[in-house]
Structure 1
């Protein structure tokens, strides 16, 4: 195992960020190369805990000569966000300097333009230098896992349709309850990786990418950080690496993925009709019917008509829920995975900002 640092110069004098990178050299050049990162949204830490325990397993495998394909791991991919605290609250999702999401605005390039990501880095802000460095490392692999979590949520993932259904092995290994089949129309990290692969051949965009995978894994919610879950998830990733031939060992007999796999157009984004305190009536993991009461918003507490009901627009599975108990008007409350497309208009790309 080799540990090195990517150094990101700050945007003010005397500041720099150090990004530890763990690398394991494989013994079989034909084995898939793997890249795994966590905490790109710096306050989403279940993936960091997972990688702590996965790295234990990888170090042991390395000592036994069982690493077949090159593996690169970055347990905390965003030191800039980790240092952003506002009145005691970690602000890890957005760069406070540019007000952009740390998981948006990755360069959309072809694979042949990979080396250009590191040219003239001084032209870019620290956040953009971080993004370009991460993307450059990831594009040296065939399997890319970006570990995130939701607010309150089930285990699920965003997977480009170009990787489905081949990616059912990852969904099964991590016991996912749902998969959102994305359209590849955003500039998020995992879609920027897929974009480069799809445009590898000049003039011909690929629609399927066998043997490759770039995925955003949502490891439940922000509070689901504990040794038991981290070890369980690390074992799930380990089983996936075994199944793909990245590490040596008996190929696991993975269960059939039994969760929901739905396109983003089938996700109902439940939003608050008015501002107010949130009283949830239904929890993540519950199946609901059209018309079921999901939440009550206390828009004008104490008045006869001050409570507004929020109901399910169609049948589906509640995959996520916000952890806050106060809503602004039109703020997100839940994501529900449904069998039919939502009637709400959706722009291409990500579900949230």
Structure 2
């Protein structure tokens, strides 16, 4: 029977809210694993995936086939999950402070006494995962192909994870500097040089609207097979093969909206475009043809993500593409700075 290790943090009113967490105990012969979803509270897909995976873990735990312990936090962010405005959840940023929920975990974890409820929540979540040897953080993009963020230290070993999850792209990064959860967890591993027997990654499970039983069952099965392959579950399952395009972070091409307006995509997710080829246009003033701006690809590559809404403000990320050379807009750091 899984152990309930839920904990409480304060909401904006100072009242306690619970972070649901469960630990499935193994026999100690496998790695310690931490799985979580919903750090950005409006990224829902992973919550259903972990909900389904937990049902499988209950079975293997009862049958004595669980070798490693697995901590599961299927809805990690109770502060953001209630932030509804005009019928839409706004779960990327803390409403009261503007704090991106997946930034500055490192600063919060280092505080002896956190001064805000976001910092308190972040410190508690890091402490829960601090003993894990394997950490997977489940996210989604706006509209996207499934893709993987992984530090160079864990590549090419992470290819098996990407294949298990049927992820089309793996983005390799070296330096973050934003204090994301993943970066905060692996920082002591990198410092101490103990990455060989460990694994951490951020899994982008398509787009925010891609929540269904079919997709969640596929992803839960992929996670289960991968846990078997890395010695967490005693079962002879192989993740199989899948064509994964490997990209250096700096080669990802991000296109921003040069003006506000109605966004019309002319290419679909996964489509390949040549350098200079048009893929979308923005109509600033409907009725005025001269207000239309055509967007073209900076270099040849595939469309990996695109903006979900069809009315865009100036400066918003319209789309991201793979590339074959370092982007001229690349200055280091994050793919998504905000």
C-alpha displacement of 1:137: 1.3
Partner of 1:283: 268
Partner of 1:216: 202
Unaligned runs of 5+ in 2: none
C-alpha displacement of 1:51: 0.7
Q: Show CA shifts across 1:274-329 (max 9, x none).
A: 11100100111111111111111102322242111000011101110111111111
- The aligned runs of 1:1-353 (5 Å cut-off) are 1-13=2-14, 15-27=15-27, 29-107=28-106, 119-120=112-113, 123-185=114-176, 186-200=178-192, 206=193, 209-252=195-238, 254-255=240-241, 257-353=242-338
Q: Show CA shifts across 1:100-143 (max 9, x none).
A: 1100111169xxxx8x66x43xx421111111111111121111
CA distance in 2, matches of 1:173, 1:253: 4
CA distance in 2, matches of 1:80, 1:97: 10
Q: Show CA shifts across 1:157-207 (max 9, x none).
A: 11111111111110010010001112232311111111121123xxxxx4x
- Aligned CA distance change for structure 1 residues 108 and 11 (closer, same or farther; 3 Å): closer
Contact 1:184 1:194 survives alignment (8 Å): no
C-alpha displacement of 1:87: 2.2
* TM-score with structure 1 setting the length: 0.91
Contact 2:262 2:284 survives alignment (8 Å): yes
Secondary structure of the corresponding residue to residue 158 of structure 1: strand
Secondary structure of the corresponding residue to residue 6 of structure 2: strand
CA distance in 1, matches of 2:36, 2:67: 19
* TM-score with structure 2 setting the length: 0.95
Aligned length: 336
CA distance in 2, matches of 1:21, 1:159: 24
Q: Show CA shifts across 1:7-41 (max 9, x none).
A: 1123434x1110111101111x3411100000111
Contact 2:80 2:90 survives alignment (8 Å): yes
Secondary structure of the corresponding residue to residue 83 of structure 1: coil
Contact 2:284 2:292 survives alignment (8 Å): yes
CA distance in 2, matches of 1:106, 1:156: 23
Secondary structure of the corresponding residue to residue 62 of structure 1: helix
- Aligned CA distance change for structure 1 residues 191 and 350 (closer, same or farther; 3 Å): farther
CA distance in 2, matches of 1:130, 1:210: 30
CA-atom RMSD in angstroms:
1.6
CA distance in 2, matches of 1:247, 1:281: 45
CA distance in 1, matches of 2:278, 2:291: 16
CA distance in 2, matches of 1:20, 1:321: 32
- Aligned CA distance change for structure 1 residues 6 and 314 (closer, same or farther; 3 Å): same
